[in-house]
Amino acid sequence: MSTRRTFLKQSALATAGILIAPSSFSNIVSNKKTEVIIIGAGFAGLAAANRLKQKGVNFTILESQNRIGGRVFSHKMDENLVVELGGEWIGESHTRIQQLCGELKLNLLNNQMDTHLIYKGNYFPKDKWNYSEAWIQKFQDIKENYKNFSPADKVALDRYDWWHYLINNGCDGRDLEIRELLDSTDFGESIRHVSAFSALAEYAESSEKNEMDKKIIGGNGLLADRLAEKIGKENILLNHRVSKIIQINNKVKVLCENGRSLEADKIICTLPGFALNKIDWLPALPAEKIQAINELQYARINKHALLYNERFWKDESFDLITDELPHYLYHATKGQPSAKGILISYSVGDKANVIANQSNLWNASEIQRTLQPHFGEINQLLEKQVNFNWGNNDYSKGAYALYKPGQWFNVMPKLKEEFIHTYFAGEHLAEWQGFMEGAVNTGEEAADKI
């Protein structure tokens, strides 16, 4: 099957309020010669550094925050319970990140969910609801037919949105409303804003659970920690926000807001578009790349985690899609031994903005209002809450990239293009876009070019 990766490589179009974790990293620069400067200590930057170390290439990572991991953010809410406030899912198809976990002695936990539904005031337990038989068969046929799509078919599909594609293929009424609820959680916005190609490619190439299969025991942030140990923490400079990049002749010079400057031969830049646009480039970035950066949107996602002193949902694999304001709730501590448990209320788009602007008391009451008719009074079980809104994050202004109609084969290739001595990486440039796997893939690919 022709995947997004192979098509992007073969197609001519493709070639044309934050919580801060403490850190033990040093800000002392070693005396060795720096050959590559990596901007960003998220998974793309750490993966690039790991590959460069294997190749014997010297490097230094510059990270603007005082922690590593980027948009992966494991948070301990209780002595024994960890939740992911950022990147969460490792799919069955995410082979590279699974390989890294094996190499670094990190164990993976099955985290597949069985979805319950609240729709029009009625509660449907797992296995007690589904799409219509007609739509189930139709969608299976659509995914099978995707294998036969030509490059021209894919480009044409990218020109319009996923909602229209579903309507045009017979999805309507209850089926369409539930697809909107479920699919919008994958893309972080309404499916009216998502490229039909981006959506269909993800569903046609995904595992049965749509890559929501595994998590790292102890928190996904452990992978960042192990990679940092492997590449050498002394090579990571925290609190070094890049302000200017100068590329003249065969050298690059990177200036930081704290006054530090470094010189090297090459740069690997892993920043999301919003942060990338804040750097002063000399020479300036090409106009087409600047336009692509300005066009790329990032998904508005809010995660509201609630610690309860008992797991009243009675199902380790519990998740729940609703047509109410909390939108999507899931058991975030599946397989973590404790009588207590954590639900995350996961909201996207306009709903995320509404919830992020309210108090913890308001959010708990709204979740209580949604669940009470079906689970009883739960507020007396609530011990602690924490809210994280990626739409307000100063570094990314969103959780992950959102490719709108017409952008996958137009905007992404421009963002991928090298600029003098600078190579680019990050989840927004990956075929597994929006996943940790994609960040790792692009970081390693950028390092392989050096």
Decide which of 3.40.50, 2.60.300, 1.10.405, 2.60.40 is the CATH code for 129-205: 1.10.405
Q: Which CATH architecture is the domain 74-113+212-219+300-392 placed in?
A: Alpha-Beta Complex (3.90)
Q: To which CATH superfamily is domain 4-70+220-297+400-448 assigned?
A: FAD/NAD(P)-binding domain (3.50.50.60)
How many percent of the chain have pLDDT more than 70?
92
The pLDDT of residue 208 is 85
The Cα–Cα gap between 296 and 17 comes to 23
On whether the CB atoms of residues 263 and 308 are closer than 8 A, the answer is no
CATH 3.50.50.60 residue ranges for the chain: 4-70+220-297+400-448
Residues 6 or more apart whose CB falls under 8 angstroms from that of 99 comprise none
Nearest residue to 21 via CA among 74, 90, 83, 77: 74
CATH 1.10.405 residue ranges for the chain: 129-205
Number of H helices, E strands in the chain: 16, 22
The pLDDT of residue 13 is 35
Ranges of H-type helices in 252-324: 273-276, 287-295
Helix (H) / strand (E) containing 401:
strand 401-402
pLDDT of 1 > 80? The answer is: no
The Cα–Cα gap between 235 and 322 comes to 46
Q: pLDDT tens for residues 195-220?
A: 999 999 999 998 888 889 999 999 99
pLDDT of 38 > 50? The answer is: yes
CA torsion angle 147 142 154 71 (round to 10): -90
Weakest-pLDDT range from 14-23, 54-63, 347-356? 14-23
The pLDDT of residue 144 is 96
Q: pLDDT tens for residues 148-195?
A: 999 999 999 999 999 999 999 999 999 999 999 999 999 999 999 999
On whether the CB atoms of residues 111 and 216 are closer than 8 A, the answer is no
CATH 3.90.660.10 residue ranges for the chain: 74-113+212-219+300-392
